[in-house]
Amino acid sequence: MPRLPGPKSTSRIGFGTWRMGGLRSADSVHDAEETRAIGFALDHGINVLDTAEMYGAGHAEELVARALAGRDRESIYVITKVLPEHLDRDAVARSARASLRRLGLTYADLYLIHWPPERTEMIREGIRAMEDLVREGLVRAIGVSNFGVREMEEAMAAASRTEISANQVKYSLRHREPEREVIPFCEDHHIAVIAHTPLDRGGVADLPAVREVAERTGHTPVQVALNYLVPRTVPIPKATRIDHLEELLGSLGWELSAADRERLRSEGPPAR
């Protein structure tokens, strides 16, 4: 079973916050319903929240802070990310402190490089700066996002004091590319795989094999598609609608049979 780095016990699915609080600039129009959705997820046993300095230019982190208010910090796992253009030493320190200020937290459980920088050498500088954050207690673990195997090797070579302990990648039944190289590599190196865009924004429900398995097992297509990801990854779906969230919660507490997993695996788009 995949585990997120650190001693906390974490839910098998997490909760994403991209498109909450705006896109690349802050938008407060939906603050109330988005904060309520995050709170609903926490109330119903999801204790992993994924956010980033990029989301709504930091406003998503502020919404996470609102949803966290009055809750037990030690039972919640918060992931946030630094932009690849902020990887020089001072910028990493500034970004992390600004994220923590917006989140209203003294530490993040996991801090990721959001995607690979254009200049590979910046991976090294960023990872070393992130190791300093671990030493200072501002983040508990570090990792990467959207990194391929070569880029992960680069990050691992740069890390001398801390493990690269997670890679967050786009992975769903409509995007199975990580099954080829990235997931096996992560499994070999005890790196947690976090599956972003795990519903393909709802598109997974249209796959014929997903619909067929859903009908046969009495679960919904979205639940089947999410359940498929759980044994090897921690998927982090996002939902603002409460009925969507309720449906996501129903993806847990049961397991696809080996035959149904194989049916989904063989009928999905090939993992090129």
Ligand X SMILES: NC(=O)c1ccc[n+]([C@@H]2O[C@H](COP(=O)([O-])OP(=O)(O)OC[C@H]3O[C@@H](n4cnc5c(N)ncnc54)[C@H](OP(=O)(O)O)[C@@H]3O)[C@@H](O)[C@H]2O)c1
Alpha helices in the chain (DSSP H): 31-43, 59-68, 89-103, 121-136, 149-158, 182-188, 208-217, 221-229, 242-249, 258-267
Among 87, 183, 248, 249, binds ligand X (CB under 6 A): 248
- Contact characters 203-222, ligand X, x per CB under 6 A: -------------------x
Report the candidate in 230, 218, 143 with the shortest Cα–Cα distance to residue 186: 143
Residue closer to ligand X, measured from CB, 41 or 199: 199
Contact (CB, 8 A) for 98 and 92: no
Scanning residues 58 to 97, which ones bind ligand X (CB under 6 A)? none
Considering only 17-25, 92-100, 180-188, 254-262, which stretch makes contact with ligand X by CB under 6 A? 17-25
Report the candidate in 219, 221, 211, 222 with the shortest Cα–Cα distance to residue 255: 219
Rounded Cα–Cα distance for residues 134 and 102 (Å): 19
Give the nearest distance from C-beta 258 to ligand X in angstroms: 25
Give the nearest distance from C-beta 242 to ligand X in angstroms: 8
Query: Is residue 162 involved in binding ligand X (CB under 6 A)?
Result: no
Considering only 2-10, 100-108, 152-160, 241-249, which stretch makes contact with ligand X by CB under 6 A? 241-249
Could you list the active site residues?
55
Written as one string, the DSSP assignment of 185-254 is HHHHTT-EEEEESTTGGGGGGG-HHHHHHHHHHTS-HHHHHHHHHTTT-EE-----SHHHHHHHHTTSS-
3-state secondary structure of 102: helix
Residue closer to ligand X, measured from CB, 165 or 168: 168
Rounded Cα–Cα distance for residues 64 and 17 (Å): 8
Query: Is residue 47 involved in binding ligand X (CB under 6 A)?
Result: no
Among 65, 76, 164, 199, binds ligand X (CB under 6 A): 199
Among 2, 5, 13, 17, binds ligand X (CB under 6 A): 17
Residue closer to ligand X, measured from CB, 90 or 118: 118
Query: Is residue 145 involved in binding ligand X (CB under 6 A)?
Result: yes
To the nearest 10 degrees (0 to 180), the angle between helices 242-249 and 31-43 is 20
Query: Is residue 196 involved in binding ligand X (CB under 6 A)?
Result: yes
Query: Is residue 107 involved in binding ligand X (CB under 6 A)?
Result: no
Considering only 122-130, 134-142, 182-190, 240-248, which stretch makes contact with ligand X by CB under 6 A? 240-248
Give the nearest distance from C-beta 259 to ligand X in angstroms: 25
136 Cβ contact partners less than 8 Å away, ≥ 6 residues apart? none
User: Binding residues for ligand X, per CB under 6 A?
Assistant: 16-19, 50, 114-115, 145-146, 168, 196-202, 222, 236-241, 244, 247-248
